[in-house]
Amino acid sequence: MPADTTAEDAPETLERSRPISIDDLEKRADWIRLQTIDLIDSAGLGHYSSTFSCAELISVLYYHTMRLRPSQPDWPDRDRFLLGKGHVATGVWPVLVDLGYFPESWLEQFGKIGSRINDHPNMKLAPGIDFSSGALGHNTSVGVGMALAGKLRGQDYRVFEITGDGELQEGTVWEGIMAAGHYKLGNMILIADANGFSGAGPTSGAMNIEPLPARFESFGWEAIEVDGHDVKALVDLFDSLPENGDRPIAVVARTKKGHGLAMTEEAPQAWHLGLMTPEQRDAAKAEIGARLK
């Protein structure tokens, strides 16, 4: 092998704040919804409405905001992505395929015994997964560890985490939030997908978690509220993140559980976990697909 490598050999890095139109990001969010419907259909069960509520977040983070290197998933300087609400991994798998982390054929095995991709993400099985999740309340602490490691080693990667709002009822999350504030982890961005529902009903009916911004601020974070389906607002917000801030950032993304499909918006709790009939599936895909034309 020649000692020098050409530019063509160097792994391609997807830099932060990549140029992409708002319309394209919106369409990708809907494409994530369509893919989610298909994956759940093939597996026989899955989380629709929780995935739909953060489809715009996934779209903006992966196609615009985060610094990634799909050909080298363990590249030390990549931005980290943690899915605290691991049950929406279904919406991430097609994106990882699209970006080149693993082949499309893996999607056919989704949810089957022996598959590398399942309802919740496993870092040991799937390239592009920075940490496994499933048990709610774990990944904020994990993110603190990654952010501390980056600061210790002088690396400038950022740690993004999407949590559910129900997940914020877990006490360990607040231990992690307290530690992130204490250590002034400006390289950590927690995005609360505040869709107002957990598995059994309205989140704050089970246990009040509001006011979220004030709670984060009292732990030493900067808290920003945003419409989690407003792609332009999300792009602007993430583009404005400080380079060397000394406060962790909490993005309280106000979202609608089941967003983007009338059926799931009207009955978000019923579609937290389920399986559409073939007729429902076709109607749902037609409704969402119409926006992509």
User: Interface residues with another protein (CB under 8 A)?
Assistant: 76, 122-124, 130-132, 134-135, 138-150, 152, 172, 175-176, 178-179, 183
Q: Which is nearer to another protein, 148 or 233 (CB)?
A: 148
Question: What whole-number distance in Å separates Cα of residue 52 and Cα of residue 260?
Answer: 7
Smallest gap from residue 155 Cβ to another protein (A): 8
Residue 94 or 166: the one with the smaller Cβ distance to another protein is: 166
Q: Which residue has the tokens 């391609």?
A: 12
Whether the Cβ atoms of residue 251 and residue 217 lie closer than 8 Å to each other: no
Provide, rounded to whole angstroms, the least separation between the CB of residue 89 and another protein: 15
The rounded distance, in Å, linking the Cα atoms of 13 and 20 is 16
Pick 132 or 198: Cβ nearer another protein: 132
Q: What is the number of alpha carbons within 13 Å of residue 21 lying toward its C-beta?
A: 3
CB of 101 to another protein, least distance (A): 17
CB of 183 to another protein, least distance (A): 8
CB of 171 to another protein, least distance (A): 8
> Min. distance of Cβ 75 from another protein in angstroms?
12
Residue type, 244: N
**Residue closer to another protein (CB basis): 38 or 175:** 175
* Residue 109: count of CB within 10 angstroms of its CB: 15
Using the minimum distance from each CB to another protein, give the nearer residue, 182 or 291.
182
C-alpha of 126 from chain center: 15
Tokens of 174: 């607040």
Strands 188-194 and 201-202: unpaired
Q: Which is nearer to another protein, 178 or 275 (CB)?
A: 178
d(CA 276, CA 40): 8
Q: Name the residue with tokens 């989690």.
A: 228
Closest approach of Cβ 92 to another protein, in Å?
17
- Cβ pair 167, 161 in contact under 8 A: no
Q: Which is nearer to another protein, 124 or 293 (CB)?
A: 124
CA angle 124, 70, 51 (to 5 degrees): 70
CB of 32 to another protein, least distance (A): 25
DSSP result, 162-219: EEETGGGGSHHHHHHHHHHHHTT-TTEEEEEEE-SEETTEEHHHHS----HHHHHHHT
Residue 226 DSSP symbol: E
* Cβ proximity to another protein, 189 vs 226, nearer residue: 189
Determine the Cα–Cα distance for residues 87 and 49; give it in Å rounded to an integer: 11
